Chains A and B, each alone.
Chain A
């Protein structure tokens, strides 16, 4: 078996083609694969579909999906936010959306998470109470169970997932640190190829207690250690 450990972020993203669907973990900072995103920006793939909680944080100078949006590499976004929680905050994404130059599918965050989970769990569809009676249910099947209405939602698959984790062993078993975990475990399962940047040097198989593995290595394809001069998670 070839090693999952890659020396550089550039090598890990080198085969991502134009038009690929990319999942990117991260919530308000923690878990954002900033080094992989930076490498993808250098690599130049375009026409991408991005699946993420937001299309980049708002008014945040740190490297995130917003950098790919600003560079015109993203064609479509599936997210729980397509505007800042503070409507007065405008971003490049807002301008592109208003101009019709980017496509967006907005959905509730729990629906986003469950659609990603379903993709990795072999589930073809599910019914959620979230969004009933709102624009989120427009055009979707509504079905009543035990007197309560639910909206049918479909899974979201991806070609690649990009995550940040705290520690990995050489098999690809992962541990996350605190709220870094967020979308990591479910995106790793929903994508065909999963790329992970990790905070700490790779440890040998067995160094992570099997009871303490958050994401089993079978869901992980490529790992790159964030070097000391890489992009660290830090206050904006």
Chain B
């Protein structure tokens, strides 16, 4: 999609920033690899967040600086992180017991497609032999909330917000909120509710890039964040 000076699709940092604004004080948060990981850079410092990583870490800190890594302390993305006071380590069975047990307040994941009924697809490309599920299916059914960050369309311009997922699904009916580069969408019982829109776009322009009905919130706002 061509961006004119008037049209300002959000970049990765701004999408992560916007989703991080939704985190509640005291939440246990699991961030998927890629854009979701960036959310931790933008959380309001007045909120106390406990980050959980499915390889068995609770309350870990920021990325370690070069030269100060502990080779045995990584997050689920394999990035070296630093410990925080009060950090705890779990084995894999306990880590996923915590996840399925409902103790994670939100998981932020990437996706290929999100459907209007809250289904989403993020583990396998259609027709591929291999897939990368990792912890996504467990997080999707176990976390209290599933938030998705993704580009609004594929590189070829195909919509990613769809009526029904055409790709292999990760979980059914779990997504609550989607941030794309064009808008912030809540998933209600009636499909996609657009709460915020990227600067310079009209709802009709966003609808034209979406393969599902969009309801526009009565108090639709321009994205409540700015790219940094």
A interface residues with partner B (beta carbon < 8 Å) = 27-31, 57, 80-85, 87, 93-94, 97-98, 104, 106-111, 113-114, 116-117, 128-136, 166, 176-186, 214, 232-235
Contacts and interface: CB of A to CB of B under 8 A. Distances in A.
Contacts, number: 158
A83 B128 contact: yes
A87 B135 contact: no
A137 to B, nearest CB: 10
A129 B142 contact: yes
A109 B89 contact: no
Contacts of B89: 176, 178-179, 181
Given A133-B119, A133-B172, 6 more contacts: A27-B74, A28-B76, A110-B99, A178-B70, A179-B56, A181-B90
Which among B71, B119, B168 has the greatest number of chain A C-beta atoms within 10 A? B71
B173 to A, nearest CB: 8
Q: State the majority secondary structure of interface residues on B.
A: loop
Contact of A110 (B70, B71, B135): B135
Contact of B100 (A94, A129, A133, A181): A129
B168 A29 contact: no
A87 B80 CA distance: 23
Range, interface on chain B: 35 or more
Contact of A107 (B92, B133, B142): B133
A66 to B, nearest CB: 13
B93 A117 contact: yes
Interface string B61-73: 0000000011111
Contacts of A136: 133, 137
Given A106-B130, A129-B100, A134 B170 contact: yes
